[in-house]
């Protein structure tokens, strides 16, 4: 979500609108800004950070974490049966430690957040507004949001693949 995208098609720069127009049938994914992720030195663990994340709805839904370093950013798109509970899993202790389970998205993201914050970056959280599809499955909406991000050439850091893992890149 570039700053221009955040302002285009929206009256609120904190609520970006993604417009897709396949076969002349417009699809719109509207993201609502929930707030920043904040980090502070962890009081009990040297070198670790304590993360605080914004509150979200307790309903099923889709979220996006935007990590920003300088003029670059990456997006992580996820979903949860209880969106607030899912997002709160990113809160708490994070450190410079690769997760033992490669396929654990929560630990992977906490490690990425540690790298971003220690490099001087920041992060913020968005929630997909699903008021136009209240009965839609969060898993389906997550897949749609990921496909939309690929089509828009958004820089994703979702698991398995895009872009390529680079060990010296603080986004990974």
Query: Per residue in 27-85, pLDDT tens?
Result: 678 999 999 999 888 877 777 888 999 999 998 999 999 999 988 899 999 999 999 99
Residue 80 lies in a domain: yes
Q: Indicate the pLDDT class of residue 19, thresholds 50, 70 and 90.
A: low
Q: Indicate the pLDDT class of residue 170, thresholds 50, 70 and 90.
A: low
**Whether the Cβ atoms of residue 34 and residue 86 lie closer than 8 Å to each other:** no
For 47, the domain range is 34-151
Give the count of beta carbons closer than 10 Å to the beta carbon of residue 83. Answer: 23
Residue 14 lies in a domain: no
117-130 per-residue burial string, b: 16 or more CB within 10 A, e: under 16: beeebbbbbbbbbb
- Per-residue model confidence (pLDDT) at position 31: 93
Find the CATH number of the domain harbouring 41.
3.40.1440
**Comparison of pLDDT for 83 and 7, the residue scoring more:** 83
Q: Indicate the pLDDT class of residue 161, thresholds 50, 70 and 90.
A: very low
Residue 21 lies in a domain: no
- Per-residue model confidence (pLDDT) at position 110: 85
16: exposed, middle or buried (Cβ count in 10 Å: 0-12, 13-18, 19+): buried
- Per-residue model confidence (pLDDT) at position 168: 62
Tell me the sheet residues that pair with 59: none
Residue 78 lies in a domain: yes
Residue 104 lies in a domain: yes
- Per-residue model confidence (pLDDT) at position 133: 64
> What total of structural domains would you count in the chain?
1
Residue 9 lies in a domain: no
Q: Residue 55 gets which letter from DSSP?
A: -
Instruction: Report the first-to-last Cα separation within the chain, whole angstroms.
Output: 18
**Comparison of pLDDT for 133 and 28, the residue scoring more:** 28
pTM of the model: 0.77
- Per-residue model confidence (pLDDT) at position 6: 45
Ranking 55-64, 83-92, 123-132, 162-171 by mean pLDDT, the lowest is: 162-171
Tell me the sheet residues that pair with 38: 52
Ranking 72-76, 111-115, 120-124, 155-159 by mean pLDDT, the lowest is: 155-159
19-46 per-residue burial string, b: 16 or more CB within 10 A, e: under 16: eeeeeeeeeebbbbbbeebebeebeeee
């Amino acid at each position: 979500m570039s700053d221009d995208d955040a302002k285009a098609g929206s009256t609120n720069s904190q609520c970006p609108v993604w417009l897709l127009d396949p076969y002349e049938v417009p699809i719109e994914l509207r993201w609502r800004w929930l707030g920043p992720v904040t980090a502070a030195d962890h009081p009990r663990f040297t070198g670790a950070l304590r993360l605080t994340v914004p509150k979200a709805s307790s309903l099923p839904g889709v979220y996006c974490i935007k990590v920003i370093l300088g003029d670059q950013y990456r997006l992580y798109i996820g979903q949860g049966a209880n969106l607030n509970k899912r997002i709160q899993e990113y809160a708490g202790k994070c450190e410079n430690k690769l997760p033992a389970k490669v396929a654990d998205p929560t630990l992977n993201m906490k490690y990425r957040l540690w790298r971003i914050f220690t490099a001087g970056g920041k992060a913020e959280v968005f929630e997909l507004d699903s008021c136009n599809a209240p009965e839609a499955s969060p898993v389906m909406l997550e897949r749609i949001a990921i496909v939309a991000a690929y089509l828009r050439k958004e820089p994703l850091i979702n698991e398995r693949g895009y872009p390529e893992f680079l060990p010296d890149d603080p986004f990974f």
